[in-house]
Amino acid sequence: MDVTKNKLDGAVAENIISAQQAVALYQYLTIQSQDSPKFTFTHVLYY
């Protein structure tokens, strides 16, 4: 599932979560996604 800032803003608009919760969750998910391994263009060229 791809969670975007727009989707979190939509949840805030629907009063599902607060604006503060949306900001905190987005920051958390952004940090988590930076730690995950991924293939870059250089990796693909290597193989």
Is 12:22 a contact under the CB 8 Å cutoff?
A: yes
Tokens for 17?
């979560």
**Beta strands in 1-47, from DSSP E residues, in sequence order:** none
Sign for the pseudo-dihedral over CA of 31, 25, 22, 33 = positive
Query: Which band of pLDDT confidence, cut at 50, 70 and 90, is reported for residue 6?
Result: very high
For the chain, how far is it from start to end, CA to CA, in angstroms? 28
Instruction: Output the pTM of the full model.
Output: 0.68
Domain count, the chain: 1
**What's the pLDDT tens digit per position in 10-40?**
999 999 999 999 999 999 998 887 766 767 7
Domain range for 40: 5-46
